[in-house]
Amino acid sequence: MISTRGRYALRMMIDLAERQGEGFVALKEIAESQDISKKYLEQIIPLLNRSGLLLTSRGVTGGYRLAKAPEEYTVGEILRSAEGSMAPVSCLEGSTNDCPRCGKCDTLPIWEGLQTVVDQYLDGISLADILRSKTEKG
């Protein structure tokens, strides 16, 4: 289940992608246009920032903008940054599997396959794809 952290992060990134060329956009504007608590978004931003997804400007004319072109962001990378991990089970988080049953686990291959399927799907969608389907629809 994807929490509001990931969903809000994605909506914010889409909003910023739509406003490319407007320079830095204040968080207040994003929060209002997306109808999300600004204070809560504040907590999500560091998660995106430390992955280098955003550019920041401080001061009265400050705000955020995308660090790359919309084509270069995948939904998967955004969600993984915000959620910390998209692993379907905890033993697939991190680089090593610490589960004591790991060697004889009958279900592990299922979770590994699920993770592959999910990652392939989410990494196959870019921010640009989302903008494209928006203009097609409306």
Give the interface with a copy of itself as residue ranges (CB under 8 A): 1-2, 7, 10-11, 14, 35, 75, 87-90, 101, 106-107, 109-111, 113-114, 117-118, 121-122, 125, 130, 133-134
Q: Say which entry of DNA, a copy of itself, none residue 117 contacts (CB below 5 to 8 A, set by partner kind).
A: a copy of itself
Q: Residue 41: phi, psi to the nearest 5?
A: -60, -35
| CA–CA gap between residue 113 and residue 28 (Å, rounded) | 41
Q: Residue 54: phi, psi to the nearest 5?
A: -125, 155
Is there binding between residue 35 and DNA (CB under 7 A)?
A: no
| CA–CA gap between residue 101 and residue 47 (Å, rounded) | 32
Stated length of the chain: 138
Is there binding between residue 46 and DNA (CB under 7 A)?
A: yes
Q: Which residues of this chain interact with DNA, rule CB under 7 A?
A: 3-5, 26-28, 37, 39-40, 42-43, 45-46, 49, 56-64
